[in-house]
Amino acid sequence: MVNNPITTIFFDLDGTLIDTAPDMINAINILRRQQQQASLPLSALRDYVSHGSAVLIQKAFDIDHNHPQLEPLRQQFLQIYQQNIAIHSRLFTGMDVILNYLKQRQLKWGIITNKPSWLTNPLLKALNFTQDCCCVISGDNLIHKKPHPVPLLFACRLTHTQAQHCLYIGDAQRDITAAKRAGMKSLVARFGYIEAGEQPEQWGADGQVFEAEEILGWL
């Protein structure tokens, strides 16, 4: 990294920057109770959060992707989640140290997520989170989303940064794939939402961090 110093850091949102699982599973459980089903523990669904709402619904209601109730349940879930989006969501432990470091060193940072903007923006606003962030790119802002490199390359344009001077951090394989395709360095956030049986060490990232503060070693 000596020849290509990192000047800009981009984060995935759910499972990397912010621990949103408690609010998402809470919304699932509200929906389950509406369907006369018992609540599930956080541990039962946490690792699926980064896979999106459809997968969460499939796991929570034990249905497959062809089930006729999948989309109606998903829409109900998203409405409930939007109404309860920032009750328990917080920065991951140690991430405040990273953001303070970036601010002190005047390093730019941004968020690139597949979460739609109508959920991303209220969440960040509720957590008073956008004042130092140089860009926020959501899954519905562009034609393509991760694992396509376009969102990451667009973030480079917005921040006037070349990809080789950027570090992207995420907890899903699509994050690492997008970073590689964009020409960025990448780290796997092992503290995020990684399903049992996945093998992050084979995703081709430049490294892995098991705690947020380990990111400092890459800066």
- Residues with a catalytic annotation lie at 12
Pairing outcome for strands 185-189 and 8-11: unpaired
102 Cβ contact list (under 8 Å, min separation 6): 9, 108, 109, 132, 219
With b for 16 or more beta-carbon neighbours within 10 A and e for fewer, the 187-214 pattern comes to: bbbebbbbeeeeebeebebbeebeebeb
Residue listed under structure tokens 């080789």: 164
Angle ∠(172,99,132) on CA atoms, nearest 5? 105
The helix (run of H) or strand (run of E) holding residue 56 is: helix 53-61
SS3 for 40?
coil
CA distance 115 to 75: 14
